[in-house]
Structure 1
Amino acid sequence: MIARAVAQDAGEILTVQRAAYVTEAQLYGDPFIPPLVESADQVRRAIASALVLKATDGDRIVGAVRGQLAGATCLVGRLMVAPDAQGRGIGTALLEALHEQVAEARAFDLFTGHLSEDNLRLYRRLGYKETHRERMDDHLTLVHMRRDSDR
């Protein structure tokens, strides 16, 4: 089940976020990546100011994604799925729901790390194409991707 997150979901979303992003932190050798140092208040503010969708399995939140409209482009961020729920299509369902709910967007932009092969594979499968790379430091290059709207 995918629905819009509410302020009361912030703590549980943050828990899923931290669990989901630990592998990214290990992959890049950086325990201080933004998703791991974000606070519950910051997540609450994101829920208030952007479209945050949550995926639930019963009463448990197992994933989430954020979308923020900037002009005609939806900036996609913080796609996450709880580690024990990965591989079941939840990330795909969250992104597809975001694409549907931000129908006015002409494009969807996101980024991920260059070593995040599972993320890159998912985004390519959903129609995202690499636009450019941005070297952040010796260990991290961000891969920026865009998906044009279906309309």
Structure 2
Amino acid sequence: MSVEASIVPAGVADAGEILTVQRAAYLTEAQHYGDPFLPPLTETLDEVRSVLTGPGVVLAARSGHRLVGSVRAHLAGDTAHVGRLSVAPDQQGRGVGGRLLTAIEVACAGRVALFTLFTGADSARNLRLYQRHGYRIVAHRPDPNGIRLAVLEKPVVSPARSDA
């Protein structure tokens, strides 16, 4: 029997689990790109704790007592920079990533006009997920280690108003 993951705000007590899931999730990316030093893999526990106590938004997906995914957003002006979308490898392909992406957008609603994120330019599965959720590639750039990244954006769609 599978339990549907619930999406909840993450707290400092979740830092260790977030880091563990993040490292497991990004390991396949590191192998794909031949780079064991991707930032999500080198981030420290103290850095995760710092993000959790900072001004950003961090959400966790929990299945029962287990943390199975997380995502974060840093707000700068009218833009939400979404990052570190991570789902435990044994939970991938079950919609958890898409639900986390939707939840972070909802959590930032009303505060931003644009969502932006990046992923490896050759990460077809990630690109499909983001494009299904309305993100479009707007640029490519190298990361500090020379890996080609795709930069994606999604404008916030305001509900139609009638000025009657």
Q: In which range does the TM-score fall when normalised by the shorter chain?
A: over 0.9
- Find out whether 1:101 has 2:94 as its counterpart: no
Aligned length: 151
Higher Rg: 2
Instruction: Tell me the distance in 2 between the aligned counterparts of 1:138 and 1:39.
Output: 19
Report the CA distance between 1:138 and its aligned residue.
8.6
Report the CA distance between 1:140 and its aligned residue.
1.7
Matches within 5 A, 1:8-87: 8-49=13-54, 50-87=56-93
Equivalent in the alignment of 1:115: 122
Q: Secondary structure at the match of 2:94?
A: coil
1 or 2, which has the higher strand percentage?
1
Question: What percentage of residue pairs aligned between the two structures are identical?
Answer: 50
Report the CA distance between 1:91 and its aligned residue.
0.4
> What are the ranges of 5 or more consecutive residues in structure 1 without an aligned counterpart?
none
TM-score of the superposition, structure 1-length normalised?
0.97
Runs of 4 or more consecutive aligned structure 1 residues displaced over 6 Å after TM superposition: none
Q: Once superposed, what is the RMSD of the aligned Cα atoms?
A: 1.2
The amino acid across from 1:75 in the alignment is H
Instruction: Tell me the distance in 2 between the aligned counterparts of 1:56 and 1:83.
Output: 14
Q: Deviations over 1:7-64 (max 9, x none)?
A: 0000010000010000000000011111111111100111111110000000000000
> What are the ranges of 5 or more consecutive residues in structure 2 without an aligned counterpart?
1-5, 159-164
Equivalent in the alignment of 2:3: none
The amino acid across from 1:5 in the alignment is A
Q: 1:2 to 1:99 in 2, by over 3 A?
A: same
TM-score of the superposition, structure 2-length normalised?
0.89
Report the CA distance between 1:137 and its aligned residue.
7.5
